[in-house]
Amino acid sequence: SQQGEEDPQALSIQEGENATMNCSYKTSINNLQWYRQNSGRGLVHLILIRSNEREKHSGRLRVTLDTSKKSSSLLITASRAADTASYFCATAFPNTGGFKTIFGAGTRLFVKA
């Protein structure tokens, strides 16, 4: 099964509203990352938060990490139609010889103009 699971699976909001996506994972991690993917394209890295950090900001993005609950959230403020995409959380955890980065199933965000 996947290491990370996003919630909700799909989200539809109006332009200007905030969008919140959640991610839960199962094992101890080195870091947690959020990625964005436009339909059929490669993934684009948005933000990385390490296991010893609790909150991080980047522009309109705010990520929180609660290692005791093994969960993270991504908040996009003042959403725009251009934010329409799939968003994935990915967890990097120790593996033989290094780390594995495993993705969840994603949240499909649709922002209506």
Partner 1 sequence: ETGVTQSPTHLIKTRGQQVTLRCSSQSGHNTVSWYQQALGQGPQFIFQYYREEENGRGNFPPRFSGLQFPNYSSELNVNALELDDSALYLCASSLLRLAGRIRNTGELFFGEGSRLTVL
**Which residue ranges make up the site for partner 1 (CB under 8 A)?**
2, 30-31, 33, 35, 40-45, 48, 88, 90, 92, 94-106
Q: What's the token pair of residue 37?
A: 């993917």
Instruction: Name the minimum Å distance from CB 26 to partner 1.
Output: 14
The dihedral over CA atoms of 95, 101, 103, 109, expressed in degrees to the nearest 10, equals 160
Q: Measured from the CB atom, is 16 or 57 closer to partner 1?
A: 57
Residue 8 carries which side chain, given as an amino acid letter?
P
Instruction: Name the minimum Å distance from CB 64 to partner 1.
Output: 18
Q: Measured from the CB atom, is 14 or 38 closer to partner 1?
A: 38
Contact 63, 49 (CB under 8 A): yes
Q: Measured from the CB atom, is 93 or 111 closer to partner 1?
A: 93
User: What's the half-sphere exposure (Cβ side, CA atoms, 13 Å) at 79?
Assistant: 22
User: Rounded to 5 degrees, what are φ and ψ at 82?
Assistant: -70, -10
Instruction: Name the minimum Å distance from CB 16 to partner 1.
Output: 28
